[in-house]
A = this chain, B = another copy of it.
Amino acid sequence: MLNSHKTGLFAAAFLAAAALSPASPAGERKGRPWTFEDILLVPEVNELALSAGGRFAIYSAEIADTGAKRTRAQIRIVDIRARTQRSIAHADIAKSLKRIPNSGDWSGLLDIGEGLQLYRIAADGKISPIVENRDVVLVGKADLSVAMGGGAPPHEIGVLAYDWSPDGKSLWYSQLKAKSGPPPIRFDDAASSLRSRRRSSIEAEVEFFLRAPDGSIDKIITRPTSDRMAMHAGGKVVWRGDDIFFRIETPDGTPGSVFETRAWSRKQKRMRVVSNERDARTLTMLRGPYGGSLSATGTGALLDFVENGPGEERHRYGRFAFTISDRNYAASRDGRKAIVGTRSLETSRYGLALVQRTGVREIYGAASLSKCSFDDRLSHAICVEEGVSMPPRLVRVDLARGGIEPIVTISPRHNEIAPLQVRARTWINRDGYKATGYIIYPRDFRAGTRYPAIVITHGFDADERFAKAENQWNYPAQLFAERGYVVLLINDPLPYQSANLRAAYSAWSRGSGPPNPETVRRLIWIEGVHSLVDAIGELAAEGLIDPARVGIAGYSRGAQMVNVAITQTQIFSAASSGDGGFLEPSGYAGWPASYDPVYGGSPMSEHFEQYRRFAPSLNARKVCTPVLQQVAAASPSQAELFDALRAAKVPTQLTYYPGTSPASDETHIFHIPSNRMLAMRENMAWFDYWLRGKRDTDAPFPERFAVWDRMAENGRPRCGIAESVR
């Protein structure tokens, strides 16, 4: 049995982390300091694929392109043995890079000027079309687009998703099709759903096709764009003999929804319903060696790793300190081996777990392993390896033996930077809840000095990744450290640690308790704030930070935490709240199912009292800290908080970052490099001004200093410091 046997890499990882710890002498710095540009230009690799023979790999590095006003993809081919790479093309978008079975080529969805289309990419870099759909459909936050959630920058889609049959001869793919004709008259819910409209949109459908080896094409099914499975995981199918298994969402009105697995018979050209499930947690079907579905369940320091199905069968692989995800899922052709991506419960590091009937082998690198591509036999993989202070590189992982060897670096520019000192840490708050995270030490850190500090929080995204916008957004964590701040990247308490927490999160996502709203608020927000406050208390007690100069920053989920923290505690001296708004009363109309478990119902009801106690805008008078809101949405909730803070004489600013034109918006995670740069510099100026009384000479909007001066003068004085750290 391999259960719980680590690959031996853990020790190495530990040593690597120790080498980055503040215990290493400050004088050993190699390289240069961070710049804002460095943060802006951190590459993100989301696509990586081995070639069929395993000798080459293709990947795409998404890097901000200031001239193009967007992130663009650099597509590179790597010679694994030679450890060399070359850039073969640029694309606005590169998605779903896959090897074409029984060929030396890859395929990918590329936007190289014609919208997202399916192309063949030969090993020599030649790009040729496979499926081109000229009737592209605009998606994302733009006029006349199909809504796709806040995350997608506006782009055009010809081909939405695809997959190859194991022999490479059949092609499954999906397209968007705009509905034609004038807009329909809408009744009832279809009309009231327009209440939160911010832009025009168009209606479209998702059409699925199968191209047979002879080139003939069958249309398989048409799904509405409200089917999230069809919109976001249309290429995640399972080819089994004559059948193709795929999933669709058939909403039943519950937030968890219902997902149906269907099978298309290639021979009979008929579809059948295989099964359905509620609350699907993964977009991929994670099949284990027994043919069932893999998951990690339970609560505590270790979770049960199990395989459910087929049918009533259930296999237990043991208890492990990781959660699993579908990001690195693969299965061998014979189905006897599977790989799942893991995330360590202890260090938030990403790794792999090789699953066989005989047991589970965990594989961790010196830092996180992610975006892996596996050979068909699951004998080795190529992955991205990166850490909080380790720039991403490609590594080859020997899955059987566990060896990991670096292949190529992804961003030479970031290798030039002297790594900042970073230490992973777990804090236990007053109520016993654990929160993980990282301390980034100021450049030239000297023990015995108290530093001003900035907490950055975003759900569970403080993990072993390199300067990820998903976590640090427009908060220039590395630059804060360069300028002498202690930076604390702190996660919310992980729900896996306690049945209570898990029940609260589950009520939130389900749309109703139990537990009751007050308990949900305590477990999901107040306990998180206690974690932050107690962590700060601990670090102040250790002499690391100056408790009178602590700022807090977070976007989205993090903005909820910022807004609750500043209304429920008095320990922060400056705050930056990014594109948030959930919890404010005016958000109810758009997200009733998310509000109900938190407040019991609409603010326009007997539940108003619950809002009065907790909604940040209704508690603005308790705020003792200046609050900057940087937003892409300019939503009613954001305006509501701004108005309330200003009415309460709290120094506050609302900064709206627009899209590239009036026809489109900036996205929740900013995609426009100039906006991101200005927002980072605005944060630096904001915290320098309020935490250290400094006027940043690099402030992007220097005319705002006069406004801040007026607010500082006229705003209410900071609440008593004496009672602040409690």
**Which A residues fall within an 8 A CB radius of B?**
143-144, 182-188, 190-192, 194-203, 585-586, 589, 603-604, 608, 611, 615, 617-618, 631, 634-636, 638-640, 642-643, 646, 653-663, 675, 678, 701, 704
Q: A658 contacts which of B184, B618, B653 (Cβ < 8 Å)?
A: B184
Task: Report A95 CB to chain B, min CB distance, Å.
Answer: 26
Task: Report A242 CB to chain B, min CB distance, Å.
Answer: 41
Task: Report A627 CB to chain B, min CB distance, Å.
Answer: 12
Task: Report A254 CB to chain B, min CB distance, Å.
Answer: 18
B656, A187: Cβ atoms closer than 8 Å: yes
Q: A656 contacts which of B194, B586, B704 (Cβ < 8 Å)?
A: B194
A188, B658: Cβ atoms closer than 8 Å: no
Task: Report A268 CB to chain B, min CB distance, Å.
Answer: 36
Q: A192 contacts which of B199, B642, B662 (Cβ < 8 Å)?
A: B642
Q: A663 contacts which of B200, B589, B704 (Cβ < 8 Å)?
A: B200
A662, B194: Cβ atoms closer than 8 Å: no
Task: Report A205 CB to chain B, min CB distance, Å.
Answer: 15
Task: Report A462 CB to chain B, min CB distance, Å.
Answer: 28
Q: What is the CA–CA distance of A501 and B654 in the complex, to the nearest angstrom? A: 40
Count chain B CB atoms within 10 A of each CB in A183, A184, A187 and give the residue with the most: A183
Task: Report A674 CB to chain B, min CB distance, Å.
Answer: 9
Task: Report A178 CB to chain B, min CB distance, Å.
Answer: 10
List of B residues within 8 angstroms of A184 by Cβ: 658
Instruction: Give the copy number.
Output: 2
A617, B604: Cβ atoms closer than 8 Å: yes
Q: Provide 12 A-B residue pairs closer than 8 Å at the C-beta atoms, listed in order of the A residue.
A: A143-B144, A143-B200, A185-B678, A187-B654, A187-B701, A192-B654, A195-B636, A197-B634, A200-B200, A589-B636, A589-B639, A604-B640
B198, A635: Cβ atoms closer than 8 Å: no
Q: What is the CA–CA distance of A197 and B198 in the complex, to the nearest angstrom? A: 6
A655, B604: Cβ atoms closer than 8 Å: no
Task: Report A622 CB to chain B, min CB distance, Å.
Answer: 15
A642, B197: Cβ atoms closer than 8 Å: no
Q: What is the CA–CA distance of A405 and B200 in the complex, to the nearest angstrom? A: 51
- A604 — nearest CB in chain B belongs to which residue? B585
- A195 — nearest CB in chain B belongs to which residue? B639
Q: What is the CA–CA distance of A196 and B638 in the complex, to the nearest angstrom? A: 12
B199, A653: Cβ atoms closer than 8 Å: no
B589, A640: Cβ atoms closer than 8 Å: yes
Q: What is the CA–CA distance of A198 and B636 in the complex, to the nearest angstrom? A: 12
A183, B678: Cβ atoms closer than 8 Å: no
B187, A704: Cβ atoms closer than 8 Å: yes
A656, B199: Cβ atoms closer than 8 Å: no
B604, A191: Cβ atoms closer than 8 Å: no
- A654 — nearest CB in chain B belongs to which residue? B191
Q: What is the CA–CA distance of A144 and B142 in the complex, to the nearest angstrom? A: 11
- A197 — nearest CB in chain B belongs to which residue? B198
Q: What is the CA–CA distance of A143 and B188 in the complex, to the nearest angstrom? A: 24
A187, B655: Cβ atoms closer than 8 Å: yes
List of B residues within 8 angstroms of A658 by Cβ: 182-186
- A657 — nearest CB in chain B belongs to which residue? B185
B604, A192: Cβ atoms closer than 8 Å: no
Task: Report A590 CB to chain B, min CB distance, Å.
Answer: 9
List of B residues within 8 angstroms of A203 by Cβ: 662
- A188 — nearest CB in chain B belongs to which residue? B654
Q: What is the CA–CA distance of A617 and B704 in the complex, to the nearest angstrom? A: 42
Q: A194 contacts which of B182, B615, B618, B634 (Cβ < 8 Å)?
A: B634
List of B residues within 8 angstroms of A185 by Cβ: 655-658, 675, 678, 701
Task: Report A180 CB to chain B, min CB distance, Å.
Answer: 11
A199, B200: Cβ atoms closer than 8 Å: yes
Q: What is the CA–CA distance of A639 and B589 in the complex, to the nearest angstrom? A: 9
**Pairs A-B, 3 closest by C-beta atoms:** A192-B639, A191-B656, A194-B634
Task: Report A379 CB to chain B, min CB distance, Å.
Answer: 51
Q: A662 contacts which of B144, B190, B196, B586 (Cβ < 8 Å)?
A: B144
Task: Report A583 CB to chain B, min CB distance, Å.
Answer: 13
Q: What is the CA–CA distance of A678 and B203 in the complex, to the nearest angstrom? A: 22
List of B residues within 8 angstroms of A655 by Cβ: 185-187, 191
List of B residues within 8 angstroms of A187 by Cβ: 653-656, 701, 704
List of B residues within 8 angstroms of A678 by Cβ: 185
- A633 — nearest CB in chain B belongs to which residue? B194
List of B residues within 8 angstroms of A586 by Cβ: 586, 589, 604
List of B residues within 8 angstroms of A642 by Cβ: 188, 191-192
Q: What is the CA–CA distance of A333 and B7 in the complex, to the nearest angstrom? A: 100
List of B residues within 8 angstroms of A643 by Cβ: 192
Q: What is the CA–CA distance of A704 and B640 in the complex, to the nearest angstrom? A: 38
Q: What is the CA–CA distance of A654 and B589 in the complex, to the nearest angstrom? A: 16
List of B residues within 8 angstroms of A640 by Cβ: 195, 589, 604
List of B residues within 8 angstroms of A704 by Cβ: 187
Q: What is the CA–CA distance of A684 and B202 in the complex, to the nearest angstrom? A: 31
With A188-B654, A191-B654 given, name 17 new contacts (CB 8 A).
A143-B143, A143-B663, A144-B662, A144-B663, A183-B658, A183-B661, A185-B655, A186-B656, A187-B653, A192-B642, A192-B643, A199-B200, A200-B662, A201-B662, A585-B604, A589-B640, A604-B611
Task: Report A500 CB to chain B, min CB distance, Å.
Answer: 31
Count chain B CB atoms within 10 A of each CB in A185, A640, A653 and give the residue with the most: A185
Count chain B CB atoms within 10 A of each CB in A143, A611, A646, A675 and give the residue with the most: A143
B182, A661: Cβ atoms closer than 8 Å: yes
Q: What is the CA–CA distance of A190 and B653 in the complex, to the nearest angstrom? A: 11
- A143 — nearest CB in chain B belongs to which residue? B143
B199, A638: Cβ atoms closer than 8 Å: no
Task: Report A312 CB to chain B, min CB distance, Å.
Answer: 41
